[in-house]
Amino acid sequence: MKRKIEEKLLQWADNPKRMPLLLQGARQVGKSFLLEWLGTTRFENMVHVNLETQVSIAEMFNGDITPQKVVHALETVFQTPIKPHKTLIILDEIQCSERALMSLKMFCEDAPEYAVAAAGSLLGVAINREKFSFPVGKVHELTLFPLDFEEFLWACGDETLAKTIREHCTTFIPLEDPIHNKAIERYKQYLILGGMPAVVQNFIDTGSIVLPTEIQNRILNEYSADMAKYASPAQAVKIRGCYNSIPVQLAKENRKFQYKLVQRGGTATIFGESLDWLTFAGLIVKCELIDNGFMPLAAYVNMSDFKIYMGDVGLLTLKSGMASQVILSENEPDNGFMGGLTENYVAQALATNGHRLFYWKNKNTAEVDFVLQIQDKIIPVEVKKGRHTKSTSLTMFRKQFNCENAIRISKKNFGNTDGILSIPCYAVFCI
């Protein structure tokens, strides 16, 4: 299964001055698989340690963590020679061992000839909880997300379709109807499946849109188990409550996160840390309110208002109980949640592409779903679940903040009308 991050991983492996690699991301997004792929592709051999399950090896890091001692111990345990530049040392689930994380700094400073790659699914949580000594400036950090829609197309064997979409996203010339309709169908499938590699692979193997549900449920159960493992019992209840409230939050016309929907009388004081936990774990994406459309957008954030989206749209669909038949239907579902589901899909795609997410609203009723700062341009983005795209908020924002272009995402084909760029929902990965 081809991933976009592969190129960055190969660049790291081929760099003679590489620092230890630290690959972060939520559970089940494919970190371990990619590191093993890297070991097979670029190295003679590898040693793979899971610090969560191989407890005895993890305890080894409680002693001397100088590179020479670590290498010798791993060679002894695995009966495998570890050669400078030729062996990849994989330290998986590194959030389970602060000392293993500290060893990365020593490898960087004292033994750069060894290739060390670490992966952590809850590293942000562990660092903030345990006050880890993070090796700032001593590791090469990368973040892995679920498959985006383009990677999903690749996995389905639709590389030509993905390429065609990218080409039309530069010209805004509409796709031919059969191609547009095929892309829409794939998009609907993605809303149900999401981008978890195991889920997508099951769909490819079976052709069933229903069977992967079991895998999605297992992933959600693993997330729930992590909440219990990496938080106090009282905090775990709050974290789970915030996470479970997301479908309800997104079903509202006003999708601003409301603590009272988690618990009656809920406040930021009660649930603020829980949202931070979910963010650090990579399970949610946060979109912040701005009250101004000028650069830099981060300077105009209203800290009290924000929207929350799930990190994987397929898990949101499952968690909401939305029937797959409704999403796959030719008729546009007439319910508020479909709008929230579409927004979640867009938020996930934009965050994967490295965009910090903002939204705007004025003192009246005007609201723009997303506002992006791309180099020296401010671009408002409006999201529509179907083909009905009439809205005044986008025009109002453009006029007030003198924006050359705006983006409208919907099921409509490509187009450009007076600077409002029509981008089909299946082409968001191009933004």
Give the mean pLDDT of 275-284. 94
- Whether pLDDT at 330 is above 90: no
Whether the CB-CB separation of 255 and 265 falls below 8 Å is answered with no
pLDDT for residue 132: 62
Whether 57 shows a pLDDT value over 70: the answer reads: yes
**Residues 131-173 pLDDT 10s:** 566 777 899 999 999 999 999 999 999 999 999 999 999 999 9
Residue 391 has pLDDT above 80, yes or no: no
Residue type, 282: G
State the sign of the Cα–Cα–Cα–Cα dihedral 182, 188, 193, 197: positive
Report the C-alpha gap between 37 and 143 in whole angstroms. 16
Nearest to 2 by CA among 215, 197, 142: 197
Q: Is 3 exposed, middle or buried (0-12, 13-18, 19+ CB in 10 A)?
A: buried
pLDDT at 335: 72
**pLDDT of 390:** 67
Q: Is the pLDDT of residue 280 over 70?
A: yes
Q: What percent of the chain has pLDDT over 90?
A: 88
pLDDT: which is higher, 386 or 414: 414
Report the 10 Å Cβ neighbour count for 14. 9
**In this predicted structure, what is the pLDDT of residue 385?**
85
SS3 140: strand
pLDDT band at 336 (very low <50, low <70, confident <90, very high): confident
Cβ within 8 Å of residue 280, ≥6 positions away: 122, 124, 125, 127, 128
What domains can be seen in the chain, in order of their start residue? 6-143 (3.40.50.300), 151-430 (no CATH)
DSSP alpha helix (H) spans, 194-255: 197-206, 213-229, 233-244, 246-251
With a cut of 90, say whether residue 381 has pLDDT above it.
Answer: yes
The residues that bridge with 21 in the sheet, in sequence order, are: 117, 140
Determine the Cα–Cα distance for residues 107 and 258; give it in Å rounded to an integer. 45
- Residue 128 pLDDT greater than 90, yes or no: no
Give pLDDT, residue 129: 60
Tell me if the bond preceding 296 is cis, omega within 30° of 0: yes
By C-alpha distance, which of 113, 118, 77 is closest to 95? 118
Q: Which helix (H) or strand (E) holds 370?
A: strand 367-374
Percent of the chain exceeding pLDDT 70 equals: 96
Q: How does the average pLDDT of the chain come out, rounded?
A: 94
Higher-scoring residue by pLDDT: 263, 333: 263
Q: Find the mean pLDDT for residues 105-127.
A: 90
The owner of tokens 């830099």 is: 296
Question: What residues pair up with 284 in beta bridges, in sequence order?
Answer: 310
pLDDT of the residue at 168: 98
Name which of 59-63, 68-72, 80-84, 387-391 the model is least confident about. 387-391
- Residue 338 confidence (pLDDT) above 80: yes
CA distances from 284 to 26, 84, 316, 348, 428 (A): 10, 39, 11, 9, 19
Q: Has this prediction a pTM greater than 0.75?
A: yes
On the question of pLDDT at 340 being above 90, the answer is: yes
What pLDDT was estimated at residue 388?
63
Query: Which pLDDT tens digit goes with each residue over 206-221?
Result: 999 999 999 999 999 9
Q: In this predicted structure, what is the pLDDT of residue 157?
A: 97
Question: How confident is the model at residue 334, as a pLDDT?
Answer: 67
Residue 389: what pLDDT?
61
Q: What is the per-residue pLDDT across 227-252, written as a single tens digit (0 to 9) for each?
A: 998 899 999 999 999 999 999 999 99
CB–CB of 349/409 below 8 Å?
no
Confidence of residue 200 (pLDDT cuts 50, 70, 90): very high
Mean pLDDT within 19-44: 97
Q: How far apart are CA 149 and CA 165, in angstroms?
A: 11
Instruction: Give CA separation, 113 vs 19, 69, 108, 109, in Å.
Output: 9, 15, 9, 10
pLDDT band of 402, cuts 50, 70, 90: very high
